Chains A and B, each alone.
Chain A
């Protein structure tokens, strides 16, 4: 049962909630309790905030051999997105063709269905990216 696990991440998956270290300023996504640079100096200083949702394609690939849950979407694009806040994210790139994607292309986050637990199970929603 993954319902509770996904539910805990709703703020992150829907609204790109991230953390910024109050000690060194490093942005982390998904949110962390401790900064990977400052370690204990960051304790109690991790500030939660919402990413702008905008960034650019850092690298990308086309997935031909998809897991069963993504059968309907293949081939689909997965990209590394360098967010304007500096943090790197990996996500599906939607609403564009593979040939149109370029490194450095501006993209923005959108909410899409990212999976479901069978026909009678809960539906999971989360971020994907589309051309800006």
Chain B
């Protein structure tokens, strides 16, 4: 049975802050940070936005582009490392808000930045086995970096939702492969507001090792080479890492250009590859082949080999905003406003 993408939708909050503004407050060279990370601005959620509202917006945009009844959705997964509740699934509210409740299974997933793609794999299994007709996988985050931490220049907000099925596919998922080890490059303990990371340890032994191994394993299993793909998208904690890993693997700048959106909106964590893939699907043509590798600290990678079908020609893309439109819809804010919105300022009880 062919399994793949029936529809997708995305959402990015409109507020943005630029690295020089963050550097100004902490006495760091924000310009150099921006250049080094290849991040020119990052998205910031408003005070009334969180992973649930982002997931709902993305899922509603996904449903606007399909005639599929929400009642046919048998599974819904929200992958995130910033679920608003520690206990009380984000997915229950999302399912209710798209009127998919109550005859479906729902769970929240967490695997640092790759929980969204883990959801896609789970939906593929359920749809492929015939257990459900459609599954929804969402990757969304409103991640935080500790004030003054280098992570603060990149941690942002956004998400994308995918409707996985076996009929009327706009893109077939030809195969998926994962590579997972115990690598403590980045973590957040229960009850801690900000994550910790291993600094340079997040590079070679973590991101580069896992992404390379997963990409090579994926191509080996599919019998493909980088030149067989029109587009490629890699996890993008910044602009530099995916650019470098693509080069290491033999992909060109042209192949990764469309799916590389972190320079404009920062690292959306669980939303990163789902949003990058959405940017590619926004412009893809029938028979285009897409290579995708998501990375989650801890650490693991999910690789996907995807072929766009003829159905993309009559897909209702205009029924919801494209990634480019979401990127362009922006309002710049200063660090004080950012600190207020992200609740970095201690307030009297009752303020929210």
Q: Which residues of A contact B (CB under 8 A)?
A: 10-11, 14-15, 50, 68-73, 92, 94-95, 110-116, 118, 122-123, 125, 128
The 8 Å CB contact of B49, one of A10, A15, A71, A112, is: A112
Q: A113 to chain B: which residues have CB within 8 Å?
A: 47-50, 52-53
Closest CB in chain B relative to A131 CB, distance in Å: 10
The answer, yes or no, to whether B149 is at the interface (CB within 8 Å) is no
The 8 Å CB contact of A125, one of B93, B341, B350, is: B93
The answer, yes or no, to whether B56 is at the interface (CB within 8 Å) is yes
Closest residue on chain A to residue B350 by CB atoms: A68
Given contacts A72-B340, A95-B14, contact A112 B48 (CB under 8 A): yes
Q: B56 to chain A: which residues have CB within 8 Å?
A: 111, 125
In the bound complex, do residue B47 and residue A73 qualify as a contact, i.e. CB atoms below 8 Å apart?
A: yes
Q: A125 to chain B: which residues have CB within 8 Å?
A: 52-53, 56, 93, 97
Interface residues on B, range: 20 to 34
Closest CB in chain A relative to B46 CB, distance in Å: 7
In the bound complex, do residue B351 and residue A71 qualify as a contact, i.e. CB atoms below 8 Å apart?
A: yes
Task: State A112–B45 Cα separation when bound (angstroms).
Answer: 11
The answer, yes or no, to whether B347 is at the interface (CB within 8 Å) is yes
Task: State A104–B207 Cα separation when bound (angstroms).
Answer: 51
Closest CB in chain A relative to B340 CB, distance in Å: 6
Interface pairs A-B: 3 shortest CB-CB: A68-B350, A72-B47, A112-B48
Q: B97 to chain A: which residues have CB within 8 Å?
A: 14-15, 111, 125
In the bound complex, do residue A118 and residue B349 qualify as a contact, i.e. CB atoms below 8 Å apart?
A: yes
25 contacting pairs across A/B (C-beta < 8 A)? A11-B96, A14-B97, A15-B96, A15-B97, A15-B99, A50-B99, A68-B348, A68-B352, A69-B350, A70-B352, A71-B352, A72-B340, A72-B341, A72-B352, A73-B47, A73-B48, A94-B46, A111-B60, A112-B48, A112-B49, A113-B47, A113-B50, A113-B52, A113-B53, A125-B53
* Residues 267-318 of B at the A interface (beta carbon under 8 Å): none
Q: A70 to chain B: which residues have CB within 8 Å?
A: 352
Please give 11 more A-B residue pairs, beta carbons under 8 A apart, in addition to A68-B348, A111-B60, A113-B52. Answer: A14-B97, A15-B96, A71-B351, A72-B343, A73-B48, A92-B48, A110-B57, A113-B50, A118-B350, A123-B85, A125-B53
Q: B125 to chain A: which residues have CB within 8 Å?
A: none
The 8 Å CB contact of B84, one of A10, A15, A118, A123, is: A123
Task: State A118–B348 Cα separation when bound (angstroms).
Answer: 11
In the bound complex, do residue A116 and residue B52 qualify as a contact, i.e. CB atoms below 8 Å apart?
A: no
Closest CB in chain B relative to A110 CB, distance in Å: 7
Q: A15 to chain B: which residues have CB within 8 Å?
A: 96-97, 99
In the bound complex, do residue A69 and residue B352 qualify as a contact, i.e. CB atoms below 8 Å apart?
A: yes
Q: A114 to chain B: which residues have CB within 8 Å?
A: 48
Given contacts A10-B96, A68-B350, contact A111 B53 (CB under 8 A): yes
Closest CB in chain A relative to B225 CB, distance in Å: 44
Closest CB in chain B relative to A87 CB, distance in Å: 20
The 8 Å CB contact of A111, one of B57, B85, B351, is: B57
Query: In the complex, which of the residues B47, B343, B348, B352 has the most CB atoms of chain A within 10 Å of its own CB atom?
Result: B352
